Homo-oligomer: A and B are copies of this chain.
């Protein structure tokens, strides 16, 4: 198995999906051991570091990659199995960026009101207890919260010659900010360009569903991935498979459209796996769907449609790709 280790220098960061030359050419079946910087490029280190001063907009959310996957062609399906996500710093940061976030007016939902104040929170990582610590600034409250590492941003180059900011989620993946993108999961992405040109970034040590204020517990991350390729079968929207769940992530505005996209693609997936027609799929999904939000703060909102495998007949999505990668991961880590 090819194993590629890569820690990008700041000048190697990618800021878009599409429009960037690959840093590596890799074979399906490769393992990647990557380092990803946090969305703030490590610049928020103290509660006195304010985004308006410390950040160099729009240079946030740097990506590691893109990677050119040999043999990947438009219409194929890229499989990325997340073997491991380990925090690469001893602290994470979160902040309120003026006119960004879910509970404020923004550059997309413009009002005449003043922005909310800037405030930065630093979360110390307790590696042993696998936790991070929330420290309130208006009271003495401190809370130990379980660590739950995930990748906010996973995507391929978009179709139609587009290059999209790493802050945007869409059909190509990107900044979906879903907690479902955790170790043990396999993400399926439709390939739009030769080589797929995928990249990853935006590690979160923990994030609630919706990413309300726009920034999770952001932290640099060591990322281990297995990469594989399925000829054909490109899904309309990013799909995720874990041992326990099937998930589809839709991204759009308004939020119901993100949800609708994820729902309809799940119904298509039911059709592929079980031969259900769309009406039976619609009915079944109505009774078993979990619908946790991913982000309600980005340029597109993202919603997950998630179904527990235990409620469904055994199936073999993508010819058992997830199980195979899971076993492979177990054998190498």
Q: How far is the CA of A208 from the CA of B128 in the complex (A)?
A: 37
Cβ-closest chain B residue relative to A282? B213
Interchain CA distance A175-B264 in the complex, whole Å: 24
Cross-chain contact A252 with B108 (CB below 8 angstroms): yes
Asked if A255 is at the interface of the complex by the 8 Å CB criterion, the answer is yes
Report whether A110 and B103 are in contact in the complex, using a CB–CB cutoff of 8 Å: yes
Neighbouring B residues of A296 by C-beta, 8 Å: 256, 259-260, 291
0/1 interface trace, chain A 203-220, chain B, CB 8 Å (1 if under): 000111111111111000
In the bound complex, CA of A136 to CA of B274 (Å): 11
- Looking at the assembled complex, report how far the CB atom of A5 sits from the nearest CB atom of chain B, in whole angstroms: 27
A224 interface contact, C-beta 8 A: no
Q: Mark A267-289, 1 if CB is under 8 A from B, else 0.
A: 10000001111111011111111
Whether the Cβ atoms of A110 and B162 lie closer than 8 Å is no
A209 to B266, CA, bound (A): 14
Assess whether A263 is in contact with B212, with CB atoms less than 8 Å apart. Answer: yes
* Contact status A96-B279, CB under 8 Å: yes
Number of this chain's copies in the assembly equals: 4
Are A163 and B279 in touch, CB under 8 angstroms?
A: no
Q: Which of A13-21, A35-43, A227-235, A325-333 contacts B (4 or more CB under 8 A)?
A: A13-21
- A239-265 to B contact mask, C-beta < 8 Å, 1/0: 000000000001011111101110110
In the complex, whether A116 has a CB less than 8 A from a CB of chain B is yes
Q: Which residues of B contact A18 (CB under 8 A)?
A: 19, 163
Q: A291-B209, A313-B141 are in contact. Are A113 and B119 (CB under 8 A)?
A: no
| A interface, CB within 8 angstroms of B | 15-16, 18-19, 58, 94, 96, 101-105, 107-117, 119, 121, 134, 136-139, 141, 143, 145-146, 159-165, 206-217, 236, 250, 252-257, 259-261, 263-264, 267, 274-280, 282-293, 296, 301, 303, 311-313
Closest 3 pairs between A and B when the two form their complex, measured CB to CB = A254-B254, A208-B289, A138-B277
Listed A/B pairs (12) with beta-carbon separation below 8 Å: A15-B161, A58-B159, A101-B282, A104-B113, A109-B257, A112-B278, A119-B279, A119-B283, A146-B311, A215-B286, A253-B253, A255-B255
